[in-house]
Amino acid sequence: MKIFYILVVVFVFLDQITKHLVRTLISVGESISIIPNFFSLTSVQNTGAAWGILQDQMILFYIITVAVLVYILDFLYKKKEYSRFTYISLGLLSAGIIGNFIDRILFQAVTDFLDFNIFGYNFPVFNLADSLIIIGLILFTIGTIRKQKREK
């Protein structure tokens, strides 16, 4: 369980530091090319969710965030022992959720800045917390599938 808390603290800190640097050093809407035609740092204040859906629905985001975090903690405390893989996946997921929640509370928007253009597709701008959420969900799903296969 210790790895869960370590990951949450470390990654929430990294997420907030990167967002603070972006808010401090890059004007909203400004884009700095890092790898031409592939990767830029672009400052965006997103009041919605992924791909800009649900704009300005802060109360909904607060409710969903608290509910998911309570569910994760309840899940972790119902059973005393999970695999390290489970703690890691839920630690990453929780860190991402908390990182974006902090932004929504403090700024009523999430700071996004990672801007990729992949094979001509300009992927929506995102942040470290978004990446942690996706990675955490993928790892948790893989772990769940592996566990189910072992139990058969």
Measure CA of the first residue to CA of the last residue in the chain; give whole Å.
26
Is position 115 annotated as part of the catalytic site?
no
Choice among 15, 103, 112, 115 that is catalytic: 112
CA angle centred on 28, ends 13 and 102, rounded to 5°: 30
What length is written for the chain? 152
Q: Is 132 exposed, middle or buried (0-12, 13-18, 19+ CB in 10 A)?
A: buried
- Decide: 41 and 115 in contact? Cβ < 8 Å: yes
The residue among 40, 139, 141, 145 whose CA lies nearest residue 95 is 139
Choice among 15, 103, 115, 130 that is catalytic: 130
Is position 130 annotated as part of the catalytic site?
yes
How would you classify the pairing of strands 31-35 and 121-122?
Answer: unpaired
Q: Provide the annotated active-site residues.
A: 112, 130
